[in-house]
């Protein structure tokens, strides 16, 4: 074997080492991305623990004698808090599942890369074994015996040692590549199992939410079953709604003065849009209406729209959020001022997506449909006020149905 062939072998070995270093870099990049996703999952898990702790505190309160002594409306507020936390858990689990799906996609790429490197290492190892079978120890002796001097002999011995060391490294890299492929596949399977566990948890939480909604609705139905209790509830909710409208009027005037001083402000388009995209079935209209159980006539300050739990509720027009809060009558509710004395109110939300002082655009999500407050089932209670007085929202729309 001549010096050119020796140099060629060493060059091939160096080239392979460089090629593998690039593959290692690609794997490291993928691992770094996965680490970020795992950190996000860990953060969500910590949030989930906090939700669970708060729910345990609420459940402990529900189990006390003091809870039994509360009014039905006060009990409903406590149950609403538990429902909202369960909703938070559902959102948390849904987001966790999305992250797991991303993480699995990354780990599948890692398995492909690891398997590719193992295959490359195996082919290189096979080539080297075939070369050794063809040349064997004789070739090493030829390299040594062809030396022209003692110094040349020492140099040739070093060449042989380097080649033998490279052969050993090739074998060790093959073993390491196989271990990495095995670990990558194992990690992928473990992550898939964790994803399935989260899906089971999501299904459980959805069932738990339905049970909690039914329990909360029964409280209001219990009140409405007796005329005297229903009369008291009606007085209470009317007082709450009047108080809210009074606060709205004050905030509208305050906002108007602020905008005048700043010579700026968010104004609506002047045309209201339907607040529940895809759902236009009105179950209860504005104005006087008979009570479904006792047939007494009651004043309804807005309209009720049949909307499924968790559906998006959007801003009817561009404006400024002046209230984003909870009370015992409206539950979670949002009020938006659109300028020119026009406001809209969105009640019984399961959650709120905006905060007071925030500017919103027409069609922007302000919350999700729910059944908080004095409500016996998921729906949107929607109000429109002009100049501080509530008015019939349906006068601003044409595409809806009443049942």
Q: 208 and 64, same structural domain?
A: yes
Q: Write down the residue that tokens 């020796």 correspond to.
A: 6
Higher pLDDT, 279 or 26: 279
Do 125 and 91 sit in the same domain of this protein? yes
What phi-psi label fits residue 340: left (phi over 0), alpha (psi between -120 and 50 degrees) or beta? left
For residue 265, is it left (φ>0), alpha (ψ between -120 and 50) or beta? left
Nearest to 337 by CA among 321, 356, 315, 316: 321
Cα–Cα distances (Å) from 51 to 91, 93, 135, 328, in that order, read: 11, 11, 70, 22
Q: How far is CA 390 from CA 6, 230, 394, in A?
A: 94, 23, 12
What's the CA gap between 352 and 370, in Å, rounded? Answer: 10
Residue 24 located in a structural domain: yes
Please check whether residue 189 lies inside any domain of the structure: yes
- Residues 282 and 334 reside in one and the same domain: yes
Asked if residue 236 belongs to a domain, the reply is no
269: DSSP letter: -
Q: Give the integer Cα–Cα distance in Å for 309 and 370.
A: 5
pLDDT for the residue numbered 249: 93
Q: Does residue 72 contact residue 219 with C-beta atoms inside 8 Å? A: yes
At residue 17, the pLDDT reads 47
- Percentage of residues in the chain having pLDDT higher than 90: 56
Q: Are residues 200 and 260 in the same domain?
A: no
3-state secondary structure of 13: helix
pLDDT score, position 174 = 76
- What pLDDT score does 277 carry? 96
Q: Which of 314, 201, 317 is nearest to 269 (CA)?
A: 317
Q: How many domains are contained in the chain? A: 2
- Looking at the fold, whether 217 and 249 belong to one and the same domain comes out as no
Q: Is 25 helix (H, G, I), strand (E, B) or coil?
A: helix
Task: Give the residue, 315 or 18, on which the prediction is more confident.
Answer: 315
Please state the rounded mean pLDDT for residues 368-382. Answer: 95
* Residue 290's pLDDT band (cuts 50, 70, 90): confident
Asked whether the beta carbons of 319 and 360 are under 8 A apart, the reply is: yes
Judged against a pLDDT cut of 80, whether residue 18 lies above it is answered with no
Rounded to the nearest 5 percent, the helix, strand and coil shares of the chain are 65, 15, 20
pLDDT band at 173; cut points 50, 70, 90 = confident
Q: Which residues does 231 contact at the CB level (< 8 Å), separation at least 6?
A: none
Residue range 188-196: mean pLDDT, rounded:
94
| pTM value surpassing 0.85 | no
pLDDT reading at 278 higher than 90: yes
pLDDT at site 94: 95
Is 4's pLDDT higher than 90? no
Q: Do the domain assignments include residue 233?
A: no
**pLDDT of 370 strictly over 70:** yes
Q: What is the pLDDT at residue 265?
A: 74
| Statement to judge: residues 177 and 257 lie in one domain | no
The domain in which residue 31 lies consists of: 3-222
73-82, 149-158, 163-172: range with lowest mean pLDDT: 149-158
Least confident of 47-61, 74-88, 104-118: 104-118
> Could you please report the per-residue DSSP string of 295-315?
--EEEESSEEE---TT-EEE-
Task: List phi, psi (to 5°) of 243.
Answer: -65, -40
pLDDT confidence band for 365 (50 / 70 / 90) = very high
* 145 and 279 both lie in a single domain: no
Rg over alpha carbons for the chain, rounded to the nearest Å, is: 35
Query: Rounded distance, CA 27 to CA 130, Å?
Result: 30
Low-confidence winner among 50-54, 123-127, 346-350 (lowest mean pLDDT): 123-127
For the chain, report the end-to-end CA distance as a whole number of angstroms.
96
Q: Where among 222, 256, 287 does a domain terminate?
A: 222
Q: Is residue 208 part of a domain?
A: yes
pLDDT (0 to 100) of residue 131: 65
Instruction: Mark which of 222, 255, 277 sits at the end of a domain.
Output: 222
Domain boundary among 166, 192, 222: 222
Q: Report yes or no: 322 and 251 within 8 Å, Cβ to Cβ.
A: yes
Crossing angle between the packed helical segments 150-224 and 227-262, to the nearest 10 degrees: 130
| pLDDT exceeds cutoff 90 at 6 | no
Let me know whether 280 and 361 are in one domain. Answer: yes
User: pLDDT category, 14, cuts 50, 70, 90?
Assistant: very low
pLDDT score at 63: 94
Q: Is residue 227 part of a domain?
A: no
User: Domain for residue 127, yes or no?
Assistant: yes
CA distances 310 to 54, 365, 373, 383, Å, are 21, 12, 16, 20
Instruction: Examine the pLDDT at 143 and tell me if it is beyond 90.
Output: no
Higher pLDDT, 150 or 62: 62
pLDDT > 90? residue 128: no
Residues 6+ apart with CB under 8 A from 129: none
Q: Is the pLDDT of residue 125 over 90?
A: no
Q: Is the pLDDT of residue 324 over 90?
A: yes
Q: Are 278 and 374 in contact (CB under 8 A)?
A: no
Most confident listed range (23-32, 284-293, 325-334): 325-334
Is 365 in contact with 277 (CB distance < 8 Å)? no
CA dist 91 and 88 (Å) reads 5
Does position 171 have pLDDT exceeding 80, yes or no?
A: no
In a domain, 76, yes or no: yes
Read off the CATH number of the domain in which 312 is found: 2.70.70.10
Whether residue 262 sits in one domain with residue 117: no
Per-residue pLDDT, 205: 96
31 shares its domain with 165: yes
Q: How confident is the model at residue 55 (pLDDT cuts 50, 70, 90)?
A: very high
331 with 206, same domain: the answer is no
Q: Which two tokens mark 96?
A: 């966790």
Are residues 272 and 215 both part of a single domain?
Answer: no
């Amino acid at each position: 074997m001549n010096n050119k062939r020796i140099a060629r072998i060493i060059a091939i070995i160096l080239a392979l080492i460089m090629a593998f270093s690039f593959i290692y870099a690609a794997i490291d990049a993928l691992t770094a991305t996965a680490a970020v996703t795992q950190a996000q999952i860990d953060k969500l898990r910590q949030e989930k623990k906090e939700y669970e702790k708060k729910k345990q505190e609420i459940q402990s309160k529900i189990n006390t004698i003091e809870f039994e002594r509360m009014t039905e409306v006060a009990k409903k507020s406590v149950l609403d808090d538990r429902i909202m936390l369960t909703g938070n858990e559902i959102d948390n689990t849904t987001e966790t599942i999305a992250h797991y799906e991303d993480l699995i996609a990354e780990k599948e790429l890692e398995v492909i890369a690891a398997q590719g490197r193992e295959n490359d290492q195996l082919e290189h190892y096979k080539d080297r074994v075939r070369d050794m079978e063809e040349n064997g120890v004789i070739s090493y002796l030829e390299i040594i015996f062809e030396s022209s001097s003692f110094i040349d002999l020492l140099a040739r011995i070093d060449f042989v040692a380097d080649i033998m060391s490279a052969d050993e490294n090739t074998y060790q890299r093959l073993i390491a590549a196989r271990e990495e492929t095995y670990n990558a596949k194992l990690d992928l399977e473990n992550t898939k199992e964790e994803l399935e566990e989260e899906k089971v948890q999501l299904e459980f939480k959805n069932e738990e939410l339905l049970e909690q909604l039914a329990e909360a609705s029964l409280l209001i139905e219990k009140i409405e079953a007796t005329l005297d209790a229903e009369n008291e509830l009606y007085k209470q909710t009317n007082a709450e709604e009047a108080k809210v409208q009074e606060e709205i009027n004050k905030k509208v005037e305050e906002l108007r003065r602020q905008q005048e001083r700043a010579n700026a402000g968010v104004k609506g388009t002047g045309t209201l849009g339907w607040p529940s995209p895809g759902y236009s079935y009105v179950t209860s209209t504005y104005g006087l209406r008979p009570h479904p159980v006792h047939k007494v006539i009651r004043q309804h300050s807005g309209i009720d729209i049949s909307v499924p739990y968790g559906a998006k509720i959007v801003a009817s027009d561009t404006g400024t959020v002046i209230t984003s809060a909870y009370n015992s009558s409206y539950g979670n509710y949002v009020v938006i001022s659109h300028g020119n004395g026009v406001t809209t109110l969105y009640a019984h939300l399961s959650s709120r997506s905006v905060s007071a002082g925030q500017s919103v655009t027409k069609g922007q999500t302000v919350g999700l449909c729910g059944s908080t407050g004095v409500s016996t089932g998921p729906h949107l209670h929607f109000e429109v006020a002009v100049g501080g007085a509530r008015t019939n929202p349906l006068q601003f729309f044409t595409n809806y149905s009443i049942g």
